[in-house]
Amino acid sequence: MPTDQLQLALVGCGVVARRHTECLKNDARRRWAVFCDPRREAAEAFRAEYGPQAAVETDFLRALDDHRLDGVLLCSPNALHYEQVCAALERGLHVMCEKPLAVRRDHIEDLTRRAHASGKIVSIAHQRRYKAAYATALRELTASADVYGPVRQVHVFTCEHWSHSIAGTWRNDPTQNLGYCGDAGIHQIDVVHYLTGRKAERLYAVGETRGTQVQVVTRILAEFAGGIGLAAHYVGDAHHYREDIHLHCERADLLLRTEQLLRAKQNQVEPIADMLPENNPASAFVDAVLAGKQTISPVEIALPIFAWNEAVKKSLTTDGWVDVD
């Protein structure tokens, strides 16, 4: 356990990495020891802006082996996550990994075992779990369970001007991406897992590619453990962004509407005012390492999301209900 500042490496210096460095910009508990990216100019730019004292490396293993570190933030391409998390754990480092944790089931299972055996913090950057609206929604369903009663049905709707910019990118490659429901949709299904504490048992999906190589519009019906039904609709060629996650409970409804949280009871809808404070994956990672706080996005959440996407993919090709396992 470090006794002074947390010595961190940032691996992958792109757009996503910048979100995390901005969150930690004024956090005196951490010190950037090294910025690593195969594009030296990208790592140099991060050093100039966020940590002039940090080293710059273009080789991942050199970044780990040549510098004193306590932890690493991985913002590298998805296909590299497995080997990089393994390497970090082998060196006794704590890890925050961008989603997905890995792109293969066996790799996810192996990383889960390795994380448990290591005794180190391994968290996944599922940012919605840390946002005020979603954290408060969980508090509502647990601390005020008598107000709502058990969840009976979940409705998910999300739309975005997504497909217009995917041509020529990995997002339009069916070997790398399921489509809008797999790209953006992992956020909503993770929220449903987080808030209900239940996993999907089976689902049925239909969709349209709308002139692309991947799913742009997808509709999913699912049955979750505990008798919870779910209906989800993803529209990736809309002309605006919106996300609705509605939890219909026995005595009241809890409504998430693009991060606005409302309670509906007896035909009256009102906003929930006493929101929990906002947080983010990077700051929570530092909290977990230095203060021993439990991470709310551990490795265990990766496999149910992977299983969901695999089931959606299978249902789309077989045109029928499939088990989620």
> Which residue ranges make up each domain of the chain?
6-126, 132-278+299-323
Q: Give the model's pLDDT for residue 176.
A: 85
Output the pLDDT for position 92.
Answer: 98
What angle do helix axes 185-196 and 302-318 make, rounded to 10 degrees? 120
Record the tokens describing residue 195, joined without a space.
């808030």
Instruction: Give the model's pLDDT for residue 157.
Output: 97
pLDDT of the residue at 184: 86
What fold does the segment set 132-278+299-323 form as a domain?
Dihydrodipicolinate Reductase; domain 2 (3.30.360)
Regions of the chain where pLDDT drops below 50: 1-2
Q: Domain 6-126, CATH 3.30.565.10 — does that match?
A: no
Nearest to 143 by CA among 280, 274, 319: 274
pTM of the model: 0.93
Give the E-state strand segments of the chain in sequence order.
6-11, 30-36, 55-57, 71-74, 94-97, 122-124, 151-161, 200-208, 217-224, 228-235, 237-249, 253-257, 260-265, 268-271, 322-323
Q: Pick from 13, 16, 47, 15: which is nearest to 33 by CA? A: 47
8 Å CB contact between 194 and 206: no
Per-residue pLDDT, 298: 96
d(CA 11, CA 77): 10
Give the pLDDT confidence score for residue 28 in this predicted structure: 94
What pLDDT sits at residue 2?
A: 43
What pLDDT, in 10s, does the model give residues 43-70?
A: 999 999 999 999 999 999 999 999 999 9
